[in-house]
Amino acid sequence: MSKKEVRFSLVYRDMWQSAGKYVPRVDQLERVAPEIVNMGCFARVETNGGGFEQVNLLFGENPNVAVRRWTKPFHDAGIQTHMLDRGLNGLRMSPVPADVRKLFYKVKKAQGTDIARTFDGLNDTRNIIPSIKYAKDAGMISQASLSITFSPIHTVEYYTSMAYELIEAGADEICLKDMAGIGRPTDLGKITANIKEKYPEIPVTYHSHAGPGFSVASVLEVCKAGCDYVDVGMEPLSWGTGHHDLLTIQAMLKQAGFAVPEINMDAYMKVRALTQEFMDDFLGLYISPKNRLMNSLLIGPGLPGGMMGSLMADLETNIEGVNRYLEKNGKPKITQDDLLIKLFNEVAYVWPKVGYPPLVTPFSQYVKNLSLMNVTQMIKGKERWSMIADDIWDMILGKSGRLPGEVDPEIKALAKEQGREFYTGDPQEAYPDALDKYRALMQEKGWDVGQDEEDLFEYAMHPAQYEAYRSGKAKADFEADVAKRREKEAGAGTASAGMIVTPQVLTVDVNGEQYRVSVVPEGAALPQGGAAAAPVAQAAAPVAATGDAEDLPSPLEGKFFLTKDSSETPIKVGDKFKRGDRLGYIEAMKTYNAILAHRDGEVVAIVAGNGDTVYEDDILMKIR
């Protein structure tokens, strides 16, 4: 009897996002790709996913060019490529119109991606099944995913039934997406065995993160049950919040009697060295050392490895704001570890109350963000649930799909108090087609829709990020942030000559007129292409005397935006508003928190610039 064959898939870009905030630039990806091919052990390589395209935009790179160049060497070598997509949410954190979803698969197929790994953060099959059809219509292999978590609701029977439904709807393959690595090995083996017993011809892939420590045992269990493909990472980014290591998995399965490919270790060491080089270049500036460690505390909150990569960066910002508040009020500061433990405890409290959404993007971020907001607000003497972003409310209210569990009565009462209604219809129906709108906007701006309409797709999928990319602001902000981090790492107290820094923007009054002035240290350079590269002083619209005006402070740390995307009209000086009207947003931890008017009034002055970083209690605008 021949040995059962198990094939390997390298999740190279996901390795980076699971460790930190960013993934390599396209030039770096092009350098490492040939050596990955030379390793000779991969049947598949992951080439795209939820956060990668936004990262390209932040770099000032066209994501579509990056995908085409990254997939090419693997295609030339006969290696299949796969992408991760979020079903209803496409490649972003919020729902996507159906026409944009359809174009998504056509574009990615044209760019060289073979397999669409589709999941839904709520495991609502209504959000996955359309993507199965869209992917197959575009000529792609549809791999439907089960978002694995561990709760009283998420049983072997629950996942088996879900897999059967997706296969019967046309899925070519099934992925067990154990995004937090908290699936229990024996349960995962049983789910795999159930799928293979009924549908032996359906390939099964196992994807997991190493964090809490179960994943190596889980790989062995699923392979014994008939799993065909295993996702792996490799040094120096395996383990920790990343993925189990190729060498460990290959050695274990080989000894256990499975047919596994051999590894060209010379090429392995070259990929390892290049990966370290990219870390030393700039990517390591965004990787917390704690993300390189295994952490069994993750068993409790069940937070996914992909999200943990950015969590420590979020904590850096939040701890700064919390300690600023504590110091101002004569209270002792807390450490990042203190805040982390409070967060883990709060996640365990919040998760069942919001209906046990599987902790996978975007809902892992929503549960984490809500928990972190609760913790920081309570430290500051405010009430739990006092700050819930609109996207989080959409999840709670059912606008993103059906929650696995019941929403707690306390949250239902809060929704009723705020006049929010629960939604029970098909989530897609709440989001009308939008391609014509974005096509018209591109024509108006003189922007080409791109090869295979790929730039039209990018604009419709990531409106705000695409506009920042086209304007040059995204690249300028990114370069300024890298410079700031390098300066901090070097321990320098002042900006070096020629260093690109983020200017401080001040509003000054000259003879009754307001002017916005950009200020940088002597010898420092302004970012190229960003707003700060404009003339140093720009006259703002004259405003009335503001002596009787009320300051509108920021309720939290983040970036201030007047709108979320081009579909909204920004408020301006002189506009009147009603209580409850949206005046702007604070973008924090990948969610937009609406700033709502607490009374009727009029905008007298807008103090914070669009896209400015603000801290709690910074003045956003003046109203009366």
Lowest mean pLDDT among 291-300, 377-386, 608-617: 291-300
pLDDT digits (tens, 9 = 90+) for 240-261: 989 999 999 999 999 999 999 9
Tell me if 611 is assigned to some domain: yes
> β-pairing, 204-208 with 229-232?
parallel
Query: How high does pLDDT run on average in the chain?
Result: 87
Does some domain include residue 123? Answer: yes
Span 278-307, mean pLDDT? 80
Q: What is the pLDDT of residues 70-80, one digit of tens each?
A: 999 999 999 99
pLDDT band per the 50, 70, 90 thresholds, residue 566: low
Continuous segment of H or E residues that includes residue 594? strand 591-596
Can you give the pTM of this predicted structure? 0.79
CA 215 to chain centre: 22
**Strands of 488-549, DSSP E:** 504-510, 513-519, 537-539
The answer as to whether 1 is a domain residue is: no
Q: Which helix (DSSP H) or strand (DSSP E) does residue 116 occupy?
A: strand 115-118
Q: How far apart are CA 339 and CA 351, in angstroms?
A: 18
Structure tokens at 154: 């998420």
Specify the pairing of strand 229-232 against strand 7-10.
Answer: parallel
* DSSP one-letter string for 174-230: EEEEETTS-S-HHHHHHHHHHHHHH-TTS-EEEEE--TTS-HHHHHHHHHHTT--EE
Q: Are 618 and 526 within one domain?
A: yes
DSSP 39: T
Instruction: Among 415, 444, 471, give the residue marking a domain's end.
Output: 471
**Is-contact 190 176, C-beta < 8 A?**
no
Task: Out of 391-400, 413-422, 538-547, pick the least confident.
Answer: 538-547
Domain boundary among 230, 263, 288: 288
Peptide bond into 236 cis (omega under 30): yes
> Helix crossing, 52-59 with 473-490: angle to 10°?
90
Residue 590's pLDDT band, with cuts at 50, 70 and 90, is: low
Same domain, 19 and 73: yes
Amino acid identity, position 352: P
CATH of the domain at 536: 2.40.50.100
Nearest to 215 by CA among 194, 232, 190: 232
Contacts of 337 (CB under 8 A, 6+ apart): none
Confidence of residue 498 (pLDDT cuts 50, 70, 90): very low
Assess whether 212 and 118 both reside in one domain. Answer: yes
Same domain, 443 and 417: no
How far apart CA 91 and CA 23 sit, in angstroms, is: 15
Q: Is the pLDDT of residue 171 over 90?
A: yes
Examine the domain organization and report whether 497 and 422 are in the same domain.
no
What range does the domain containing 320 cover? 296-430
- Which pairing describes strands 504-510 and 7-10: parallel, antiparallel, or unpaired? unpaired
Res 1: pLDDT:
59
Residue 24 belongs to a domain: yes
| Cβ atoms 198, 168 nearer than 8 A | no
CATH number for position 68: 3.20.20.70
In a domain, 2, yes or no: no
Domain boundary among 447, 471, 495: 471
Instruction: Note whether 452 and 549 are same-domain residues.
Output: no
**Does residue 405 share a domain with residue 272?**
no
**Which is nearest to 595 in space by CA: 573, 616, 574?**
616
Give the span between the Cα atoms of 482 and 484, in whole angstroms: 5
* CB-count burial class (<10 Å; 0-12, 13-18, 19+) for 296: exposed
Number of domains in the chain: 4
How far are the Cα atoms of 156, 300, 302, 306, 523 from residue 151, in angstroms, in the given order?
11, 11, 10, 20, 56
611: left (phi over 0), alpha (psi -120 to 50) or beta: left
- Do 254 and 195 sit in the same domain of this protein? yes
What does the pLDDT read at residue 340?
A: 84
Asked if residue 56 is part of any domain, the answer here is: yes
Q: Give the least confident one: 192-196, 344-348, 432-436, 538-542.
A: 538-542
Structural domain contains residue 440: yes
Are 458 and 528 within one domain? no
Q: How far apart are CA 238 and CA 373, in angstroms?
A: 30
Looking at the fold, whether 151 and 71 belong to one and the same domain comes out as yes
| 312 compared with 217, residue with greater pLDDT | 217
Furthest CA-CA distance within the chain? 91
pLDDT digits (tens, 9 = 90+) for 7-44: 999 999 889 988 888 889 999 999 999 999 999 999 99
Evaluate if residue 147 carries a pLDDT over 50: yes
Q: Which of 188-192, 379-383, 422-426 has the lowest mean pLDDT?
A: 379-383
Q: Which residues pair with 503 in a beta bridge?
A: none
CA distance 447 to 442: 5
Same-domain status, 421 and 480 = no
Q: What is the pLDDT of residue 546?
A: 54
What pLDDT is attached to residue 313? 63
The fraction of the chain above a pLDDT of 70, given in percent, is: 88
Is residue 334 domain-shared with residue 256, that is, in the same domain? no
